[in-house]
Amino acid sequence: MFLRITISNILLMVFLSGICREIVVSPQEGLISLKQAIEMANHGDTIRVKPGTYECRNLFIEKPLTLIGEKGAVLDGGNESYVLKLLADNITIEGFEINNSGKSYTKDYAAIYVSGTSGFRIIANKIDQSFFGILVEKSRNGLIRDNRVNGNAKREDESGNGIHLWHCDSVKITNNEVSGMRDGIYLEFVSASQVTQNHTHANVRYGLHFMFSSHDDYVGNTFENNGAGVAVMFSKWIRMESNNFIKNWGTASYGLLLKEIYDGEVINNRFEENTMGIYVDGSSRVNYLNNTLKQNGWAIKVSGGCYSNQFSHNNFIGNSFDISYNSRMNDNTFHGNFWSEYTGYDLDKDGKGDIPYRPVKLFSYIVNQTPETIVLLRSLFVDIINFSEKVSPVFTPDDLVDDSPSMKMFL
């Protein structure tokens, strides 16, 4: 008898804890405090938040919960500190408007802060006027999807990043929009993650910034009009595919900066109207295939210590300088690209030009040596010396040629 009661009690408890309750929070009736709801909730419960503004300062969530904001549910941080802190596994935050985290020069206050968890899901939130947008530390297997982070950052040192990941693993960042922050998306020590279909624009510093992050994929993102473009540093086995790098204009601005990148792939991207399309510094064994570089100042600028990179089937259209080198050494191969400035012919009609193309102009070499000479850009004299150098190269790397330039643009 005693045994039966005990067993049925245990069964009941298992049953009760197994069932996921839904708790409703509403500003008008019943439960009005989100904090209270979280305290009441059991593991795995869903808290549904009705429209209204909720004060929400430094709110800890320390058990696996699903928080769903109905349209118009606003969490206001009151400019004080963090807004939400996600400190347990399997927490879902969906559909909130989150405003006004605190600002600090010593603490990384964020609208949504995630630390030491696994399986977090941050979906379709709208974050405004916050120091950091979504800040994730030491977490894995997460999803950050459909969020919009807006700010009005003016200076680098007093603003935070839109989506910031540090020491993470296997996180998917998809379809977010970040504007007006310091860096749009920042990743440091993040591995095996995917960054896809995001749009970052008008951020003060980089649209995307990642360091020491290996084995990551960046696919289908658009980086537009950011202060300094996209910076990729000290990472290995990176795949960047089908991204757009547009209008990153400025004296220290580029579409894509690759610094100390090894064994990467840069495929099918578009670089349009950037001061520098791709700036490659100390990167080796990277393949650049099927990219389109159009109307950039420098399409590709290669500086010291870049070995065994391969540039194939790219379109170079109307750039002021196609390739710029700062030395006469060349260990990279250019093969079968389309160059809009190519003036050769194709007698055997195989679609490949019969005379090799030299993408490095003498003037770009001179500009590297003496930057002030750039004032002579587009003058007749420069055209003449470029032509004579083209005929018999003396200063530019003489093995830097595209032996079979394509006659047709790649689509």
* Binding-site ranges for other proteins (CB under 8 A): 249-251, 253, 275, 297-298, 318, 320, 366, 369-382, 384
Q: Which is nearer to other proteins, 56 or 300 (CB)?
A: 300
Residue 5 vs 375, nearer CB to other proteins:
375
CA dist., res. 224 & res. 218, Å (int): 15
Q: Based on CB atoms, which residue is closest to other proteins, 59 or 362?
A: 362
CA dist., res. 339 & res. 313, Å (int): 10
Shortest Cβ 384–other proteins spacing (Å): 7
Question: Minimum distance from CB of 383 to other proteins (Å)?
Answer: 9
User: What's the min distance (Å) between Cβ of 400 and other proteins?
Assistant: 21
CB 271 → other proteins: shortest distance, Å? 15
> Which residue reads 């202060």 in tokens?
227
Expressed in angstroms, the distance from the first to the final Cα of the chain is 79
Nearer to other proteins, 249 or 307 (CB): 249
Q: Which is nearer to other proteins, 105 or 381 (CB)?
A: 381
Contact 25, 47 (CB under 8 A): yes
CB-based burial label for 375 (10 Å; 0-12, 13-18, 19+): exposed
Based on the number of CB atoms within 10 Å of its own CB, is 99 exposed (0-12), middle (13-18) or buried (19 or more)?
buried
**117 vs 324, beta carbon nearer other proteins:** 324
| Contact predicate 197/217, CB 8 Å | no
Q: Is the distance from CB of 266 to CB of 288 less than 8 angstroms? A: yes
- Please state, in angstroms and rounded to a whole number, the distance separating the CA atoms of residues 249 and 273: 7
Q: Tell me how far, at minimum, the Cβ of 177 lies from other proteins, in Å.
A: 26
Q: Between residues 18 and 371, which has the closer beta carbon with respect to other proteins? A: 371
Nearer to other proteins, 96 or 325 (CB): 325
Show the CA angle centred on residue 332, arms to residues 331 and 337, nearest 5°.
Answer: 150
Closest contact distance (angstroms) between CB of 367 and other proteins is 9
To the nearest whole angstrom, how small is the minimum distance from the Cβ of residue 73 to other proteins? 42
**To the nearest whole angstrom, how small is the minimum distance from the Cβ of residue 230 to other proteins?**
17
Q: How far is the CB of 250 from other proteins (least distance, A)?
A: 5
| Between 291 and 296, CB nearer to other proteins | 296
